[in-house]
Structure 1
Amino acid sequence: MMDSSERLQYQPAIDGLRAVAVALVLLFHGGWTLFSGGYVGVSLFFTLSGFLITSLLVQEFESTITISLKAFYTRRMKRILPASVVCLVIISLLAWRGHFASVEGLQTDISSAALQVFNWRALFRGQSYAALIGASEPGPLDHFWSLSIEEQFYWLWPIAMLFIMRKTMKVRDNAQIRAKIIYIVTFAFVVIAPVIAKVWGPNAAYWASPARMGEIMVGASLAMWIRTSNNMTRVKSSGSLLGCIGLVAVLVSAMTWPSESGPAYVGLFPIFAIASAATIIGAISIGRFRSVLAHRLVVALGRRSYGIYLIHWPVFVLVDENRFDLAKGTLFTFRVVITVFLAWVSYALIEQPLRHGKFSWRNTFVLAGSSTAAVVLLAMTLVPKPPTLFAAEVDAGEVSLGREQSSVQSIPTTEVDQLGNQEPIKMMVLGDSTAVALGAGIVSWAKEDLSRARVAVVAHTACGFARATSVEDNTGNFRRDCDQTLGPQLTAALNLRPTVAVLMVGLADSGPMIWSQEEGVLQPNDAKFADHIHSEYRQLVDQLIAGGVKNIDWLLAPHPTTWWLGNLGHAPESLRTDLTNTWITQLASEYPNIIHIIRFDQWLEVKEENGDRSWRPDGLHLSEESALKVMNDLIGPILLTH
């Protein structure tokens, strides 16, 4: 039976259920096939939230004849935001340092997580949950979708409850009327979930808030049912039995539901929520079931379940089989130990102190808003865009010195994963705008046959390999962009472990430069200039080798044509090109088995000898079509020999 004196008091067994829920998620994300449906743990969380929040709101209204929205939102912000903000800041800093290198749209992921709309971000991205979690390079915030759904519920449900409670205050038998209203709302969401799946597809059934709200509302309905007409007395002798049956149903679902199809993707989660509701009844009923869930260790884990859930996925992404050569069970244990330890630290140093801190509602709102804005700003300014994998859609004809690099798109990694056992070459393209243009051809070449290569393009207009200030850079914008390209973006690309690098630089490294104020402006024909260039180029090559690159194919740039309109006025472009090619050739002699010189200059000179402008329409940069020809006829065969 239920202890009526404790009906709305703290129940340790509820935290025990939280521990069960988060354990299922950990097992699922750990890749244990026995728990292919371990994602149902999130659904259990949803139903628990609906039950607890509704119980608290009803209790508050019955005690005070109102619901203080300010107090409710203040409590939620103090409970949820501190650890969440810290997590997002740490993810941003790790990304800035080159981690999560190939995660596309991480800036938007962080912003969406901070703004509590990550589930909609995931839906509009067009990937299924299984594909997202199972990707070869998963994002560190892919688990934030469920937190976003709960937070959306927290924002809307108190307002709805206050409206319902006030409108029924003067109605006879208002408790029953309120309960029936909640039942109707719940039924509507239960019905709409499969409709959403049918009309908008399985992804919407999983990600969309309306499709998942039924699970939360089942918990809300349970809270209303318990509070009306002493309904718990009807199950007083079977509360533990119901809890056991519910838990068995939860575990069976966790072990039998497939990860990529099945009930989860056709809108049947609200039906599963009935099992979750049964476990809640068992947890609040006196009996053996509650006693087991109220074990001190289980409760301790449950009280930290928010931190465990928040932290576990970034840890799982970072601590993976590529970085740690461990057996599956050992790796999983290692991940869980790290996760639980960090969650314990977060609970003691972040969550509890701030949750119980004496902040007014006004200060809490200001801190919440400012910290959210700060996270979004941090993501936009600090998190580098990833190197582009299969960067197509580069209009090379629009790339020229002084213009921004064209935008690029990407092919999902899953297309490569479907190739079977054939392993594509991992390669990167580095250089200035001539490399941007060439990169379009390399990408098109790779896309023609996905078994050929995976390509990371790390190139930017006017960005050579000299880390100096160009006299031609009047605004300083190019230096800033180049620091980003040769810094975080290059580091991120190397984290992909490419084995081949294709380098090309045209005029970017052969104009007047300033390395130090003491030296002043150095001209490209100065001995000190050449010394700096050799040092910079060696540093780059050593960095590539340290990053796992085995072969560096360095193209010698051809002379700009007579129709090139970008005359820079300091030295004839042909002379500047020759200087750069000389430096590259000299460096190659120091790395005979690594740097391979490709005489692109001679090859293209023959193609253009009759004034054929189709290769380089602007006189300097290849068009996308001609870049593809270069790949097929010259570079591609060389790459495939490595």
Structure 2
Amino acid sequence: MTTPRFAHQPALDGLRGLAVLAVLAFHLRWSAASGGFLGVSFFFTLSGFLITSLLLAEHAGSGRLDLKAFYARRIRRLLPGQLLCLALAMVVVLARPEVYPGRRLASDAGWAASQLFNWHLLGDHRTYADLFGRQTSPLEHFWSLAVEEQIYLVFPVLMALFLARPAARKVGVAVLTLVIVVPTLLAGQVTGNTAYLATQFRMTEFAVGVAAALLLARWIRQGGAPPLVTAIKGPAGVVAGAALVAVVVATTLGSTWVYRGGLTAVAAAGAVVLLGTAGATRGPARLLAAAPLRQVGLVSYGLYLYHWPVFLTVDTFDWGRGAAGAVVKLVTTGLLAAASFHLLEQPVRRRRPLAGRRAVAVAVAGAALLVGVVVTADAAPQVVTATEQIDPEAAEAVGLTTSTVATAGGSTTLPAAGGPAVPVLPTVLLVGDSTAASLGAGLVQAAAADPGGTGRITVNASGACGLVRGGDYQDEVLNSALKMTCPALIWQDAPAVTSASRPMFVVVLVSLPDTWERSWDGGATWADPAESEEFRTRLATDYAEFAATMVEAGAGCVLFLRPPVARVDLGDGLAPERSFTDGSQEVVAAVVDDVAADPQVGWVDFGGDYETGRIHAEDGDRPDGIHFSLGAAQRLGDEWFWPLMGSLAAAGACPDGPV
């Protein structure tokens, strides 16, 4: 093999710069970069291309791969910046707790440092769309770094094995083909969240970059690409690049094609761009190598690392989401990335001592990380907006199991073996949106405080999830939840839990999602319940079908809670959200009233009782005007919900109105 040493190529730095700028623009919510998250996909492909090229060059020069040296280089390249970012996140949360009011940052930091953050997100049922919601971790973006590090851990070893013998190289090509083809075909069989976050699916993009590097190495060994390829690879790279730009502009988080094998297509286009750019010095390659873009590419790692904590921090200010906020975000991120590159990353990478101020800066960062872990380790969430944010120990202690089987419409006792019947505590599955999750967190805490005398509950709720199916929301982040999270959560998980545990009550609380404007014709027209007959028809159909599905699955009673008035900031303080003033909530209430004609379906005017004082309410119960604080939700559990459930269980019937 005569592959020469792989030389640094400025044009590739320019491509790296464009990719990170796409990600930043996406996180700034610029509409022209609604698909900017695909910049991460290009990073995966570029990483596969560069790492493979470097390993091939090393093997060509020495006949072997020094894996110890490879991993040492990776650690020196990646770890310093990551540690500084972890410290920055800790400092940010300590200085402005509103940046991250809810999760235990110490846990996130541990997963981030262990390079397993993508699996942490999957285990917590967090989606990529959660980046733009409340409770967003300043370390959420570490998922992609984790994917790369997991691949880096295995890939060089495989390369060493496949390069050891010529015969093994054919096996390597076969394995590479399988790594590209199989996950692409299987992506449509899993949830969009799994297809986006799981390593076994994202390694495909890396593998496409590997294939591009192997192809380029083959051309070099043969003295050049075939004449036809030489003639078209430059123009093909331009066309592929233009296609990627178009995709970034037109794609959104809710575009289902992305999660159904589309990421492989993006990677293939990226590979064509790389092959058309590598080694070129004129045309587009010259533009990509221009100093400004190249400098952005050189510090792209730092830009990616530090931008998310910075963006979240700026968002907490009143001006943070406007044009001024965008400028502050970009300037601050750029300064941090440049300082990190020159004062920390490069000295460590080149094994230069961190003298003077650099040593002090690194020491301070390390100390801040340690202090931050200690201070935040036991920080309890104050507001919960998704099921996975609920205290896992409490949730497990009082969650539904197959041993909790009972029905509200029949007997409320179960016979003890060989003895008299014993009272059965109410068993509840709570389903709904982020308001349901915030209430459910406190209901779980209340039950856990008295597990033998309260009841059992499982919460199945997440932001933007209602019962009305299909269509599109206008907000792309909410739209991604509508497509990626809600269908499985509401229409698969809830029936499955009900079938397995047969709860007395399936309690439904949806405050806003089923009143938001929605389009079922690709955005040509938009409808809301107050104005659209089609929307009202869908509302009635889906609510009735959900109730029937839960009853058929084994629920004793499907109980709808009318929500309290949600209040949002309209610029001059909190005011009732649109649906509470335009008639949309009344439409939903009328639908629920109709569905409750079934004796196993009922409703309770939770919102009315809460607003009028029949249920004890306090100032500060809902810090943002919508979601209950954990303390308020637990108080509601103690004083209202669990006593109500106990009385309903004793009565053995579904209520239909005030109780």
TM-score (norm 1): 0.59
Matched-pair contact (CA < 8 Å) for 2:22–2:37: yes
Match of 2:110, as an amino acid? S
Q: Could you tell me which residue of structure 1 aligns to residue 81 of structure 2?
A: 83
Alpha-carbon distance in 2 for matches of 1:126, 1:144: 16
- The reply to whether residue 338 of structure 1 matches residue 328 of structure 2 is no
Please report how far the alpha carbon of residue 309 of structure 1 lies from its aligned counterpart in structure 2 after TM superposition. Answer: 0.7
Q: Could you tell me which residue of structure 1 aligns to residue 13 of structure 2?
A: 15
Matched-pair contact (CA < 8 Å) for 2:100–2:136: no
Alpha-carbon distance in 2 for matches of 1:548, 1:379: 27
Where do 1:444-483 residues align within 5 Å?
A: 448-452=561-565
Alpha-carbon distance in 2 for matches of 1:182, 1:231: 23
Q: Could you tell me which residue of structure 2 aligns to residue 213 of structure 1?
A: 203
Please report how far the alpha carbon of residue 120 of structure 1 lies from its aligned counterpart in structure 2 after TM superposition. Answer: 1.3
- The reply to whether residue 232 of structure 1 matches residue 242 of structure 2 is no
For 1:387, which of 382, 387, 394 is the aligned residue? 382
Where do 1:157-556 residues align within 5 Å?
A: 157-168=155-166, 171=167, 178=169, 180-228=170-218, 229-232=222-225, 234=227, 235-284=229-278, 285-320=280-315, 322-325=316-319, 328-357=322-351, 379=373, 382-383=376-377, 384-389=379-384, 390=438, 391-394=441-444, 396=446, 399=449, 411-415=461-465, 418=513, 420=515, 448-452=561-565
Which consecutive unaligned segments of at least 5 residues does structure 2 have? Answer: 354-364, 385-437, 451-455, 466-510, 518-558, 568-612, 626-630, 648-659
Please report how far the alpha carbon of residue 252 of structure 1 lies from its aligned counterpart in structure 2 after TM superposition. Answer: 1.2
Q: Please give the per-residue CA displacement for 1:89-138, whole angstroms capped at 9, x wherever unaligned.
A: 22123323424342435333222111111111222222432x21232443
Please report how far the alpha carbon of residue 233 of structure 1 lies from its aligned counterpart in structure 2 after TM superposition. Answer: 5.3
Q: Could you tell me which residue of structure 2 aligns to residue 146 of structure 1?
A: 144
Alpha-carbon distance in 2 for matches of 1:548, 1:421: 18
Moved over 6 A (4+): 4-7, 371-377, 406-410, 627-630
Please report how far the alpha carbon of residue 295 of structure 1 lies from its aligned counterpart in structure 2 after TM superposition. Answer: 0.4
Q: Could you tell me which residue of structure 2 aligns to residue 29 of structure 1?
A: 27
Q: Please give the per-residue CA displacement for 1:270-302, whole angstroms capped at 9, x wherever unaligned.
A: 222121112112322232111101101111110
Change (3 A) 1:67 1:204: same
Match of 2:115, as an amino acid? Q
Q: Of the two, which has the highest radius of gyration?
A: 1
Q: Please give the per-residue CA displacement for 1:185-219, whole angstroms capped at 9, x wherever unaligned.
A: 33212222234323222111111111111111111
Please report how far the alpha carbon of residue 358 of structure 1 lies from its aligned counterpart in structure 2 after TM superposition. Answer: 5.5
Matched-pair contact (CA < 8 Å) for 1:243–1:279: yes
Please report how far the alpha carbon of residue 257 of structure 1 lies from its aligned counterpart in structure 2 after TM superposition. Answer: 1.9
Alpha-carbon distance in 2 for matches of 1:327, 1:409: 32
Please report how far the alpha carbon of residue 417 of structure 1 lies from its aligned counterpart in structure 2 after TM superposition. Answer: 5.5
Please report how far the alpha carbon of residue 343 of structure 1 lies from its aligned counterpart in structure 2 after TM superposition. Answer: 0.7
Q: Could you tell me which residue of structure 2 aligns to residue 51 of structure 1?
A: 49
Alpha-carbon distance in 1 for matches of 2:240, 2:212: 14
Alpha-carbon distance in 2 for matches of 1:503, 1:292: 62
Please report how far the alpha carbon of residue 318 of structure 1 lies from its aligned counterpart in structure 2 after TM superposition. Answer: 1.3
Matched-pair contact (CA < 8 Å) for 1:392–1:410: no
Alpha-carbon distance in 2 for matches of 1:373, 1:64: 42
Identity %: 30
Name the SS for the 1:8 alignment partner. Answer: coil
Q: Could you tell me which residue of structure 2 aligns to residue 560 of structure 1?
A: none
Which consecutive unaligned segments of at least 5 residues does structure 1 have? Answer: 172-176, 360-370, 401-405, 423-445, 455-499, 505-540, 550-554, 556-599, 601-614, 631-642
Please report how far the alpha carbon of residue 266 of structure 1 lies from its aligned counterpart in structure 2 after TM superposition. Answer: 0.7
Kindly report the root-mean-square deviation, in angstroms, between the aligned alpha carbons of the 2 structures: 4.0
Alpha-carbon distance in 1 for matches of 2:367, 2:187: 34
Alpha-carbon distance in 2 for matches of 1:373, 1:184: 48
Q: Please give the per-residue CA displacement for 1:153-188, whole angstroms capped at 9, x wherever unaligned.
A: 1111111101111133xx5xxxxx73x544433321
Alpha-carbon distance in 1 for matches of 2:373, 2:191: 31
Q: Could you tell me which residue of structure 2 aligns to residue 611 of structure 1?
A: none
Matched-pair contact (CA < 8 Å) for 2:101–2:381: yes
Match of 1:418, as an amino acid? P
Q: Could you tell me which residue of structure 2 aligns to residue 124 of structure 1?
A: 123
Matched-pair contact (CA < 8 Å) for 2:87–2:366: no
- The reply to whether residue 107 of structure 1 matches residue 202 of structure 2 is no
Q: Could you tell me which residue of structure 2 aligns to residue 587 of structure 1?
A: none
Change (3 A) 1:343 1:503: same
Alpha-carbon distance in 2 for matches of 1:623, 1:399: 15
Q: Could you tell me which residue of structure 2 aligns to residue 626 of structure 1?
A: 643
Alpha-carbon distance in 2 for matches of 1:323, 1:447: 37
Please report how far the alpha carbon of residue 374 of structure 1 lies from its aligned counterpart in structure 2 after TM superposition. Answer: 11
Matched-pair contact (CA < 8 Å) for 1:91–1:140: yes
Matched-pair contact (CA < 8 Å) for 1:54–1:220: yes
Match of 2:240, as an amino acid? G
Give the stretch that moved more between structures: 372-381 or 27-36. 372-381
Please report how far the alpha carbon of residue 306 of structure 1 lies from its aligned counterpart in structure 2 after TM superposition. Answer: 0.4
Please report how far the alpha carbon of residue 72 of structure 1 lies from its aligned counterpart in structure 2 after TM superposition. Answer: 0.5
Give the count of matched residue pairs: 428
Match of 1:414, as an amino acid? A
Matched-pair contact (CA < 8 Å) for 1:118–1:148: yes
Please report how far the alpha carbon of residue 350 of structure 1 lies from its aligned counterpart in structure 2 after TM superposition. Answer: 1.4
Q: Please give the per-residue CA displacement for 1:409-468, whole angstroms capped at 9, x wherever unaligned.
A: 79534355626579xxxxxxxxxxxxxxxxxxxxxxx993444469xxxxxxxxxxxxxx
Alpha-carbon distance in 1 for matches of 2:283, 2:348: 35
Alpha-carbon distance in 2 for matches of 1:182, 1:373: 45
Name the SS for the 2:442 alignment partner. Answer: coil
Name the SS for the 2:380 alignment partner. Answer: coil
Change (3 A) 1:623 1:327: closer
Q: Please give the per-residue CA displacement for 1:327-386, whole angstroms capped at 9, x wherever unaligned.
A: 734432331121111111111111111111159xxxxxxxxxxx9999699647534232
Name the SS for the 1:387 alignment partner. Answer: coil
Matched-pair contact (CA < 8 Å) for 1:397–1:623: no
Please report how far the alpha carbon of residue 261 of structure 1 lies from its aligned counterpart in structure 2 after TM superposition. Answer: 2.4
Q: Please give the per-residue CA displacement for 1:504-543, whole angstroms capped at 9, x wherever unaligned.
A: 9xxxxxxxxxxxxxxxxxxxxxxxxxxxxxxxxxxxx9xx
Alpha-carbon distance in 1 for matches of 2:243, 2:64: 38
Match of 1:448, as an amino acid? L
Change (3 A) 1:207 1:372: farther
Matched-pair contact (CA < 8 Å) for 1:140–1:317: yes
